[in-house]
Structures are given as structure tokens and as C-alpha cells.
């Protein structure tokens, strides 16, 4: 109880309602809550920067690869240049399909139906798309978690701080606004930090989820077109 009274006295005497002052005058539990939310906010922005950068790079690489793919050059040559050691998701899809198709073509005397070959190529591309998208979607669950839980974590800090302030006020038998204001402000500061962490996380998650879904659709569209091309070439060889 003496600690609670000292905390209120400190807030009353100092009257520091700046952000730093509110943090320093807060209870240790509220301080830890604020620090956790601040760390989560920093992590959110780091993830957003990484995802935006990687998506732009992947789309730029896809544009360059599709220009080469539709230029009418040799698929085998393109595979040696891009598919054997892919540096982009779309090149990995191309490499998986070409690798499966070439392995089937090299099997001497293999009795493989056209439908069976198409199924194997499609499966190879589907697995590759899933793997590439899982890699690109890494940490997205963290954005969703921060967006949904940060306000409640901040609210916990606020409730704890208000309880702490009220116990100090009851001990002092003084409800003067100068006594109440610092403790309430410290508590509400935790909710504000929770919202600062949650709002960007929710907005970024929605935007990035849309962009990732659009990129996944681009890979699936390329896989469908390339699968049809390989199917036609296989029929011509037969």
C-alpha cells in the first residue's frame, strides 16, 4: 500500500504527463505490458517491410521470367538458365514442371499415358506453389495475432493501472483531480499503445493477404498454361 501511495505522490508532485513521464511513473506490471506491446509493434513493422519488399521483388522477377518464357525461345534452354536453380517462385514452378517432364521423357521404354504425365506435372507444380506460398506467408499469423490480441493486452494494462491508482486514492482518502489524473493517464497509455500496435497489424494483414492471394493466383495461372503447353508437346512427340 505504501508503494501505491508513493506512486500517486510522485505523479502529483512531478505532474509529468509526457509520454516518457507516463511510462516511468507507471506500475511495473503496466510497464512490462507497454514494453511487450512496443516490441510487438516494432516486429509488426519489420514483417510488413519484409513482406512488401519480397512481394515487389517476386512480382518483378515474375514479369522478367514471363517475358523470357513467352518470347518463343527454347524451353530446355530456359530451364538450364532459370529452372535448374530457380531464384524466384515462378521459376521454381517452371523448374518443377520441366524437371518432372524431362525425367519422364528420359525413361527408356516407359509406358506413361498422357493423362498420367499431365497429372504428375500438375502435382509437381501444385506442390511447388504450396511450398513457395508457405514461405512467402511466413509470419503472417503473427500480424493476425497482434491485430486481434494487442487491444486486449493494452486493456489488461489499463485495468491493472486503474486498480493500482484506485487503491492508492483510497489509502490517501483524496479524490482530487490532481491526484487521480496521473494514475488514470498512465493506465490509459497502455491501451493507446495496444491500439498503436493493433491497427497497423490489422491493416497490413488485410492488404498483404490480398496481395499474396493475387500472387498465388498468378502462379496457378502460369502453372495451368504451362501444363497445357507441356501436354501438347508430349502429344506431338507421341
Give the length of the chain.
Answer: 238
Burial of residue 8, with CB atoms counted within 10 A of its CB: 0-12 exposed, 13-18 middle, 19 or more buried: buried
In a domain, 212, yes or no: yes
Residue 143 backbone dihedrals phi, psi, to 5 degrees: -60, -45
How many other C-beta atoms can be found within 10 angstroms of the C-beta atom of residue 198? 23
Residue numbers of the domain that contains 23: 2-72+139-233
- Does residue 131 form part of some domain? no
- Higher per-residue pLDDT: 6 or 117: 117
| Residue scoring higher pLDDT (163 or 136) | 136
Q: What is the pLDDT of residue 2?
A: 47
In Å, how far are 18, 21, 40, 130, 169 from 27, measured between CA atoms?
A: 16, 12, 20, 47, 15
Residue 38 included in any domain: yes
Residue 77 located in a structural domain: no
Q: Residue 225 domain-assigned?
A: yes
Residues 37-93: tens digit of each pLDDT: 999 999 999 999 999 999 999 999 999 999 999 998 888 899 999 888 899 999 999
pLDDT in tens, 9-29: 444 444 566 767 777 777 788
pLDDT in tens, 177-222: 666 677 777 788 899 999 999 999 999 999 999 999 999 999 999 9
Q: Is residue 168 part of a domain?
A: yes
Residue 45 lies in a domain: yes
CB 10 within 8 A of CB 25: yes
**For position 201, what pLDDT does the model report?**
97
Confidence (pTM) = 0.82
Kindly state the percentage of the chain with pLDDT values over 70: 81
Query: pLDDT value at position 56?
Result: 97
Query: Is there a domain that residue 134 lies in?
Result: no
The Cα-based distances of 174 to 167, 170, 184, 226 in angstroms read: 11, 7, 14, 77
For residue range 101-151, what is the model confidence (pLDDT) as tens digits? 888 766 644 555 666 778 889 999 999 999 999 999 999 999 999 999 999
What's the total number of domains in the chain? 1
Amino acid at each position: 500500500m505504501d508503494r501505491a501511495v508513493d506512486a500517486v505522490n510522485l505523479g502529483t508532485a512531478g505532474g509529468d504527463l509526457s509520454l516518457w513521464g507516463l511510462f516511468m511513473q507507471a506500475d511495473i506490471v503496466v510497464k512490462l505490458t507497454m514494453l511487450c506491446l512496443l516490441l510487438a509493434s516494432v516486429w509488426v513493422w519489420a514483417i510488413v517491410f519484409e513482406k512488401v519488399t519480397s512481394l515487389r521483388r517476386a512480382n518483378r522477377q515474375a514479369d522478367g521470367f514471363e517475358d523470357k518464357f513467352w518470347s518463343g525461345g527454347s524451353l530446355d534452354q530456359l530451364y538450364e538458365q532459370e529452372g535448374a536453380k530457380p531464384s524466384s517462385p515462378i521459376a521454381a514452378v517452371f523448374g518443377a514442371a520441366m524437371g518432372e517432364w524431362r525425367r519422364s521423357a528420359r525413361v527408356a521404354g516407359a509406358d506413361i499415358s498422357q493423362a498420367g504425365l499431365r497429372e504428375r506435372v500438375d502435382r509437381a507444380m501444385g506442390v511447388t506453389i504450396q511450398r513457395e506460398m508457405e514461405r512467402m506467408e511466413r509470419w503472417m499469423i503473427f500480424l493476425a495475432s497482434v491485430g486481434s490480441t494487442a487491444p486486449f493486452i493494452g486493456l489488461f494494462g489499463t485495468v491493472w493501472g486503474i486498480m493500482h491508482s484506485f487503491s492508492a486514492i483510497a489509502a490517501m482518502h483524496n479524490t482530487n483531480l490532481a491526484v487521480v489524473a496521473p494514475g488514470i493517464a498512465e493506465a490509459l497509455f497502455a491501451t493507446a499503445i495496444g491500439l498503436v500496435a493493433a491497427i497497423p497489424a490489422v491493416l497490413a494483414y488485410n492488404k498483404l493477404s490480398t496481395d499474396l492471394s493475387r500472387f498465388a493466383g498468378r502462379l496457378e495461372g502460369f502453372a495451368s498454361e504451362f501444363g497445357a503447353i507441356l501436354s501438347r508437346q508430349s502429344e506431338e512427340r507421341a
